[in-house]
Chain A
């Protein structure tokens, strides 16, 4: 299963963000739902969207894994 390992740096305050959640995305049409076909996990049938939160300012980022 594809896994992005590097930590995201908060674009708002520069703190290291915490990766605390994953969601499988199946749909099309949403802003984040334009996966490279290579990113689609054959076991899950979709791609993983990671959720990262900044412990300092609370900013949230997503990253497709």
Chain B
């Protein structure tokens, strides 16, 4: 009889830029998912991962990050939109693993200073997620005008985000449970 493990759904903060506005959304989403029973989470700040930049891919796999990705049942990626794209460091970090991601759920939170809430960075991340073996959900969270959504101390100003995050998380948790069952029980053979 297999043991019952709690779901682990870490939040990846996908930028290392000084003064990054994505920190507050990442902290908020981590707090919200932490309220769900049976879910464990952790905020992973890619700025704190000491990955080399003179190589790439699985050759530079970080043991701690790899262990967390293996333990994860789903990922939440919080990404700002820089020139319509994601940060190079986020891609560098994601590319350092592969087997750890296969058939796991991913939800994306887009962040922008303008009105589009990171919609373009989310679209750009989708094919990357697919190639990494992650399974995307059809809910996103879009933080538009992020500098107005939070007070300077990180307090959420626009409470309407809570309901949207809740719908996003419900979908992600459903997918995480479904895919864990598939990874554990449904064989290709």
- Chain A residues with CB under 8 Å of chain B are 5, 15, 18-23, 29-32, 49, 51, 53, 55-62
Contacts and interface: CB of A to CB of B under 8 A. Distances in A.
B184 A53 contact: yes
Interface residues of B, number: 22
A29 to B, nearest CB: 7
Given A23-B133, A30-B57, A30-B59, A18 B100 contact: no
Nearest to B71: A58
A58 B71 CA distance: 7
Interface of B: 2-3, 5, 57-59, 70-71, 98-100, 102-103, 133, 182-189
A21 B100 CA distance: 12
B99 A62 contact: yes
Nearest to A61: B99
Contact of B184 (A18, A23, A51): A18
Contacts of A57: 3, 5
20 contacts: A5-B189, A19-B187, A19-B188, A20-B103, A20-B182, A21-B102, A21-B188, A22-B188, A23-B98, A30-B57, A30-B58, A31-B58, A32-B58, A51-B99, A55-B183, A58-B70, A58-B71, A60-B70, A61-B99, A62-B99
A25 to B, nearest CB: 9
Contacts of A61: 99
Given A20-B187, A29-B57, A29-B59, A55 B2 contact: yes
A20 B71 contact: no
